[in-house]
Amino acid sequence: MTRFDSYLRSILERGAEEARKDGSATIEAHHLLLAIAAEPEPSTQEILTSAGLDYGSIHAALDREFEHSLSVAGVSRAAAGLPRPRGVPAHPRPGPSFKLAMERGVAALARKRDLRPAHLLLGILGAQVGTVPRALTLAGIDPADLRARVQQSLATDGEPRR
Amino acid sequence: MAGAEIPTAQELASQGLADRLAAVRALRRLADQLEVAAVEEAMRAGWSWPEVAEALGVTRQAVYKKHARRLIAAGVKLRRRSP
């Protein structure tokens, strides 16, 4: 198993855990983003930190995005009187945004064996619309700027021999 | 970085659309959370699957498939599915 494979595996496990905590039957891109933020992997940690992001702030941004989107329809989570979802589905499956993120992360690359952790982040940030870019924007982060940071990190961080 | 000044009417309309689409997603998620909590409460209170299904306006099979495993895992004592 390559280093990337074992990284991917821990991200998927953690992503599934995030989905369960969220009460979601599917693992979505934002669960992967939380997983990446929770994983002590130097290159991705450096990128997130440079943008002022960590697990806690991403979590808060996602919560805010949820509240904000509900408010567009005149609804508030507090008014619905909900307890925080308790660990729900046993085996969340990859959802549509997860699949898109993986495609975008891998599509950036000619050869699969060149995959590095930051490519996963790049794939997630490839979304122009949806939960992740909305949450980042609400947190005052420009998704395009963050994407550029990832690209720069991938370019300078020893692109494997071509 | 090109001008982040005053958004054009088109940009505003597009933002409104993105908000409305995101609202749909958020409402689905909220509805799902409400369902999970309410079904669990109902089953703990001794409701039957057919009752819960009828109250939700879905089939028994649908509600069972969606919730049974989780409720069993959560240690909820379930009434028999069919009489």
Pick from B19, B44, B72 the residue to mutate for testing the A interface (most A CBs within 10 Å). B19
CB contact under 8 A, B30 and A83: no
pTM of the full structure: 0.85
Alpha carbon A95 to its chain centroid, in Å, reads 13
The answer, for B77 touching chain A at a CB cutoff of 8 Å, is: no
Say if domain A3-156 classifies as CATH 1.10.1780.10: yes
pLDDT mean by block of 10 residues, chain A; 162 residues: 89 94 90 97 96 97 96 85 63 92 84 89 95 96 96 79 44
* pLDDT, tens digit (0-9, with 9 covering 90-100), for B57-77: 999 999 999 898 888 888 888
Two tokens, residue A20: 């369960």
Rounded CA-CA distance B48/B31 in Å is 21
Nearest CA in chain B to A75: B27
What residues in A contact B39, CB-CB < 8 Å? none
Is ipTM beyond 0.90?
Answer: no
Two tokens, residue B55: 């109250």
